[in-house]
Structure 1
Amino acid sequence: MSITMTKQDFGTRPVERRETDNYVREYVEPFVDKWDELIDWDSRAASEGDFFIRVLKERGAKRVLDVATGTGFHSILLREAGFDVVSVDGSAQMLAKAFDNGRKRGHILRTTQADWRELNRDIYGRYDAVVCLGNSFTHLFNENDRRKALAEFYSALNHDGVLILDQRNYDAILDHGYSSTHTFYYCGDNVSVYPEHVDPGLTRFRYAFPDQSVYHLNMYPLRRAYVRRLMREVGFQQIETLGDFKETYHEQEPDFFIHVADKRYTGDPA
């Protein structure tokens, strides 16, 4: 019998909790219930535009695996754009919320709870695209976990598939301190998001809501070049990195980086 957790558990020394598996204790039901308040779907959709839909359609993608479904934002938008989507998350609470959000919008999401490190054990077939969005990859604290997850993403793709993975601009946070325009991703009004602790091995974000409730997420501060290197080392052939959906940017400016990694060998025919 599963027990629903209502309080986050970081132990007595939260900044020392640097374990991949701790995310299960972080996405407790009250925090998940507030996640859409943090995101604001309408504002986020307006800020992103058709970027992800355009990238996927340019590559002829039809079958998409959303491995960081969260509360369902991208899964539902991609379904509404005509893609065949399977929705995966490691958090049962997130998947339940995503399913409910989908149903409210007239969709029955196909959801699977899975650990990225063993992704292909729990999914079936191959996909034209894997999307890992919402700064989710940063939950992996161990390099072996990151390599394993990327290898599982790679294996889940067809030979000409594409991985789209985003992350916060941790380079700017580590090198220059935190600054965010909140133009992308976190669009909710009156919601405060900032890192209350930063060091080379941990960024601990604090989320404060209008009802005075406060939650935290412990995340590994991934550097842009490091993520690109890991992608190449697991086999991705061509990687384009955009800053806040722009091809040209100064390294310190973007809130988020979006990596678009093609599996197809450079010499393969289209």
Structure 2
Amino acid sequence: MVTSSNKTKQNYGPDPVSVRATDQYRAEYVHAFVQKWDSLIDWDARIESEGSFFIDKLRERGTRQVLDVATGTGFHSVRLLEAGFEVVSADGSAEMLARAFSNARSRGHLLRTVQADWRWLNRDVHQKFDAIICLGNSFTHLFSENDRRKALAEFYAALRHNGILVLDQRNYDALLDHGFSSKHIYYYCGNDVSVKPVHVDDGLARFEYRFSDNDVYHLNMFPLRNSYTTRLMREVGFQRIETFGDFQETRRENDPDFFVHIAEKAYVRSEGDL
């Protein structure tokens, strides 16, 4: 049963920076925060900043069926549906899925939704996909390396033999090494909210989301370094990984706000293979 208090208030206990657990995300996305999430994203501004990047990359690889494992309020699921892809929309938060379903209905679409924990994804999702997308800096909700490896292995198993994983993350390298700086034009495009870190160390990036009505929420996330993420992908079995910075082919390491990794499952033959 959901009470009014846990629909509106996040609970991190007396020492918020000590809360470093994967399962915390369920308590972070309270109803009141989820209802404000679309003003953080600003769908129209996000479409303009991102363009057709993800649609183009999926089409280049002949993708037809897509699993959106971090659906959130439905932005990418709806965009891909409108571009002609078959989409299944998953999320660990029931609040997010409910909002996504409502957003899609208001735009004339019916989402196929499933609530699923990535660590046991194939227990709840029973088909193979051409592509899995894990966007919105969502992978950083996993706080242990075992959880990250388990989730990536589940993604790998849910893909067809030539499938791809598209995963993004904030540029935590720059945050950890040089401090916070954001152009605030690619991912969080809304003008109704300010986003900034209030604590950063090697094991935690705690972000504050302050809205114009003075409502304040927080997210505790693990600061993934770029090279660490791609190493885990390779160790799980992904063969070729291409990384983009803010939807660009070329980048300097500290320039992008976000990295986008496209990891291919297809086996890459070496010269020594028969």
With the shorter chain as reference, the TM-score category is: over 0.9
Matches within 5 A, 1:214-229: 214-229=216-231
1:239 to 232, 241, 264: 241
Equivalent position amino acid for 2:247 in 1: F
Residue identity opposite 1:178 in structure 2:
F
Distance 2:96 2:66 in 1: 19
1:46 has 2:48 as partner: yes
**3-state secondary structure, aligned to 2:247:** coil
Residue 183 of structure 1, CA deviation:
1.3
Alpha carbons 2:65, 2:87 under 8 Å: kept: yes
Q: CA-to-partner distance for each residue in 1:196-215, whole Å, 9 max, x for gaps? A: 00000000000000000000
Amino acid at match of 1:175: D
Contact kept? 2:39, 2:192, Cα under 8 Å: no
Alpha-carbon distance in 2 for matches of 1:59, 1:65: 15
Name the aligned partner's letter for residue 43 of structure 1: A
Residue 7 of structure 1 deviates from its aligned partner by: 0.9
Matched letter for residue 123 of structure 1:
V
Name structure 1 gaps, 5 residues minimum: none
Matched residues in 1 for 2:213 and 2:113: separation? 31
Structure-1 residue corresponding to 2:57: 55
Residues 210-268 of structure 1, C-alpha deviations (whole Å, 9 max, x = no match): 00000000000000000000000000000001110112111111000000000001239
**Structure-2 separation of matches of 1:190 and 1:8:** 20
Matched, 1:102 2:104: yes
Matches within 5 A, 1:228-267: 228-267=230-269
Match of 2:66 in 1: 64
- Equivalent pair of 1:5/1:25 in contact (CA under 8 Å): no
1:20 equivalent among 7, 19, 22: 22
Q: What is the Cα deviation at residue 6 of structure 1?
A: 2.0
Amino acid corresponding to residue 179 of structure 2 in structure 1? G
Runs of 4+ in 1 over 3 A off after TM superposition: 1-4
The one of 180, 183, 187 aligned to 2:185: 183
AA aligned to 2:124 is: D
In 2: Cα distance, 1:86 partner to 1:117 partner: 17
SS in 2 for 1:65: strand
CA distance in 1, matches of 2:269, 2:55: 25
Aligned 8 A contact 2:55 2:83 in 1:
yes
Structure 1 residue 211 and structure 2 residue 213: aligned?
A: yes
Aligned residues: 268
Mapped pair 1:133 → 2:135: yes
After superposition, residues 133-152 of structure 1 pair within 5 angstroms as: 133-152=135-154
Shift of 1:124: 1.4
**What is the distance in 2 between the residues matched to 1:267 and 1:125?**
27
Of residues 5, 9, 12, the one that matches 2:11 is 9
1:161 aligns with 2:163: yes
**Preserved contact between residue 137 and residue 170 of structure 2 (Cα < 8 Å):** yes
TM norm structure 2:
0.96
Q: Distance in 1 between matches of 2:190 and 2:27?
A: 24
**Which secondary structure state, in structure 2, belongs to the residue aligned with residue 204 of structure 1?**
strand
Q: Report 1:73-88 matches (<5 A).
A: 73-88=75-90
Please give the per-residue CA displacement for 1:127-174, whole angstroms capped at 9, x wherever unaligned: 000000000000000000000000000000000000000000000000
Q: Deviations over 1:43-81 (max 9, x none)?
A: 001111111001100110100000000000000000000
Give the 3-state SS of the residue equivalent to 2:166 in structure 1: strand
The TM-score with structure 1 as length reference comes to 0.98
